[in-house]
Each structure stands twice: as C-alpha cells, then as structure tokens.
Chains A and B, each alone.
Chain A
C-alpha cells in the first residue's frame, strides 16, 4: 500500500519545487538541490560542453543550464558541508528499473545504492 502511495506523495511535493522526474534515485542533496534529470541529456556528473555564453542550455536556449544553477547554488547556498563534498562524486548510471518508484523507499531500503556488479570508482579505493 505504502509502496503505491508514496510515489504519488513524493512526486506531489518534489515536482512543483524541483521539477522532479521520479528517477527513483534522488541525488538532489549532492547537486545543489537541482535535479539533474531536468537536463535534456540527463547528465548526472556535470555540464556538457554546449553551455551557452549566457549560461543557458545548448538544447533549450531559453532555460538556464541545470548544472550552472547547481554549481552556483553549491557555491552560494548555506548547505551542509557533506552535501557540498558530494558535489563532485562520480554518480553511477541510472537504474532504469527504478523509474517511477519512490526514492524515499529506495533510500531507506538502500535499493538506490545498488549498482551493477562490475561498477566501482577510483574514489572508493581511496
């Protein structure tokens, strides 16, 4: 029941504020409270090379680049230091199976931390 209800509640709250796309693996805290899934290329590890001179998006010229906003907020907003430290972490590929599920449940069950068996980063090794 909760599993069915929570995605609605989560979307109702996150959609108006962050234009949440319900990827089910929320990284908002580490991306300056800016949803990377609103980037037309759904880049989760920083901006593409196409950001315009005025800071707007290559694909949607009327919109500010999501990552420019994220970086500005990370620099300017009073956020917990750990969140800021997580800004440059290598975020793994999205698990498409989680699309539409509640990231809150996935957070509690740690389902959102499961990565493909072969995935590892050099950051973890340090």
Chain B
C-alpha cells in the first residue's frame, strides 16, 4: 500500500505533497538532486503531465524515475493531450512499474502553453477518466476486455474551490468521489472564505473524501500579481497583493501570508494535508515545514 494511501486511510496524520520539477534534460543526476531535496518533507510528490500545456518529460517516466530515487509519486494523467486509449495505457504503464497513486485531471487548455497551435484532445473529461480508472481496478478496460490481475490504484483528482460557480464545485467534488476519487488536491486559493465554504460543504456530503489544499511559497508581490493575471482560475485579491507589496520586507511578508493560509487550511473539516508549491527555491521550505510542526522524514 502506498504511503499516501496508508496515511490518509489508516491514520490521522497530516500528509504533505509537492510537485516534482518538470524535467527538461539534466538526466538522472537532476532527478536524484530534486528527490533528495523533497524526500525529507513529503509523503508523495506529483509527477506532472505536461503542466500548463508545456511539453516536458512524460508523466509515466518521471514517476518511474522518482520511484527509483525513493520518492513516492502521484502520477498525474491529463485529458488534454491523450485520448481514452492513451490514458488507459498511461495507467497500465504506471501499474506495471508499481505506481499506485494516480490523479486524473482535465488539464489547462493548449492556449495556456507555448504551443497554442496544437490540437486539443479532450476525448474524455476528468470525471470520465476517474471512472475509467475505477473500472480498470475492477479488472477490465473501458471496452470490457479483461485485465488480469487488475491494477491497484489509489485515485485522486483536483478541484478549484475558488473558481465559480462556487456551490457547484462542492457537488462536483462529490461527483468525482462517486466516480472513484479518494482524495482531492485543491488548486491554489487566496480566498480563505471560499476554501472554508468548500471544505465545509464537501465534508457534509462526502465525509470520506480527503482534501489537500495548496499553498505557495513566494518571495515577493510579483508572483502574486503574475498568478492573478496569467493563471486561469486563480484570483489573488488586490488587498493581498498590496499587503505584500507594501511591506518593508516582502520576502518575510509573503512567507507569513503563506503560513497564515496554511494554518487556516489545516483547521478546516475534511482537510487531511497540504500541497506545497515552492516558487522561492531558497531555504524557506525547511523553515516553513518546521513552523508547521513537521520533522524531516528520515
């Protein structure tokens, strides 16, 4: 059983997840370096699938490389670039290499990336992909053809608690849960009130669904404005940007903001962990984890 599943299903421990940096060359040496940096703090780390519609080393091979370096992957599978056949073969490829945690996403549109002229696929949507993964765990492909023995997955998904229509996001979380998702990593959210309403709503109708909100370590107000302007589905309120921009020490203010958001998120019903995105690339990740009461995992 994966560490993530063990902790989320059989303990009350808070889990921490992160994103593995996209691999664009650098070989296994770079994988080893990143794995060594992340391993002390994270239970499982996302192997992304062409994030933000930019081509990188593939999801399955990244997940395998991470595993070789002792890091537990959550293999993401995105619907933008692959049809239903390719999605099922990604999952089977992961299973072949003992990858258990998977996360099924719709994905950003091709227009968000650096090859906006590409054909978008979206043959199936994330909820259909989750349901197909659950079907595969029952020993068959979508076509009905047998898979023997059936693969063993721990299914996750993502949801954006802070994007409209807010009420519907809660129903959609339940829909993903009923399709087969056991955990949800949530999109970056700078509206604590929206996150709170979402978590409370989900805890009511899907009490077994484990929620993992995301926080971001940034160094200044600039990346906050950038996210607000450039990343679809992320809204950073003006007063939040202004608070960091006005501070004498922006790095410290940005850090404090993240810590506040993290602490608040961890008090919410249904929340079982945090997903930490690090845009600072300094030693603040260590202090951040210490401040949240975490000790390095051997």
**Interface residues, chain A, CB within 8 Å of chain B?**
40-53, 55, 58-59, 65, 67-68, 71-72, 88, 90-94, 96, 116-123
Contact A41 B165 (CB under 8 A): no
Given the interface pairs A45-B128, A116-B142, the reply to whether A51 lies near B163 with Cβ below 8 Å is yes
Interface residues in B107-140 (C-beta closer than 8 Å to A): 108-109, 111-112, 120, 122-128, 131, 134-135, 140
Given the interface pairs A50-B163, A93-B124, A122-B178, the reply to whether A116 lies near B144 with Cβ below 8 Å is yes
Q: Give the nearest-CB partner of B84 in chain A.
A: A93
**Chain B interface secondary structure, helix, strand, loop or mixed?**
loop
**Interface residues, chain B, CB within 8 Å of chain A?**
79-80, 84, 106, 108-109, 111-112, 120, 122-128, 131, 134-135, 140-145, 158-160, 163-165, 167-168, 171-172, 174-175, 178-180, 187, 232-233, 235
Q: Which residues of A contact B232 (CB under 8 A)?
A: 49-52, 58
Q: Which residues of A contact B160 (CB under 8 A)?
A: 49-51
Considering the chains assembled together, what is the distance between the CA atoms of A11 and B172 in angstroms?
A: 31
Contact B168 A47 (CB under 8 A): yes
Considering the chains assembled together, what is the distance between the CA atoms of A72 and B178 in angstroms?
A: 23
Considering the chains assembled together, what is the distance between the CA atoms of A123 and B131 in angstroms?
A: 11
Considering the chains assembled together, what is the distance between the CA atoms of A45 and B157 in angstroms?
A: 14
Considering the chains assembled together, what is the distance between the CA atoms of A121 and B112 in angstroms?
A: 32
Considering the chains assembled together, what is the distance between the CA atoms of A42 and B124 in angstroms?
A: 8
Contact B175 A119 (CB under 8 A): no
Considering the chains assembled together, what is the distance between the CA atoms of A117 and B138 in angstroms?
A: 13
Considering the chains assembled together, what is the distance between the CA atoms of A41 and B178 in angstroms?
A: 22
Considering the chains assembled together, what is the distance between the CA atoms of A65 and B160 in angstroms?
A: 15
Given the interface pairs A43-B122, A48-B106, A58-B233, the reply to whether A123 lies near B164 with Cβ below 8 Å is no
Q: Give the nearest-CB partner of A45 in chain B.
A: B127
Q: Which residues of A contact B127 (CB under 8 A)?
A: 45-46, 90
Given the interface pairs A68-B164, A118-B141, A120-B135, the reply to whether A88 lies near B175 with Cβ below 8 Å is yes
Q: Give the nearest-CB partner of A40 in chain B.
A: B109
Q: Which residues of A contact B124 (CB under 8 A)?
A: 93
Contact B125 A43 (CB under 8 A): yes
Contact B235 A123 (CB under 8 A): no
Q: Which residues of B contact A88 (CB under 8 A)?
A: 171, 174-175
Q: Which residues of B contact A92 (CB under 8 A)?
A: 128
Considering the chains assembled together, what is the distance between the CA atoms of A67 and B166 in angstroms?
A: 12
Contact B123 A50 (CB under 8 A): no
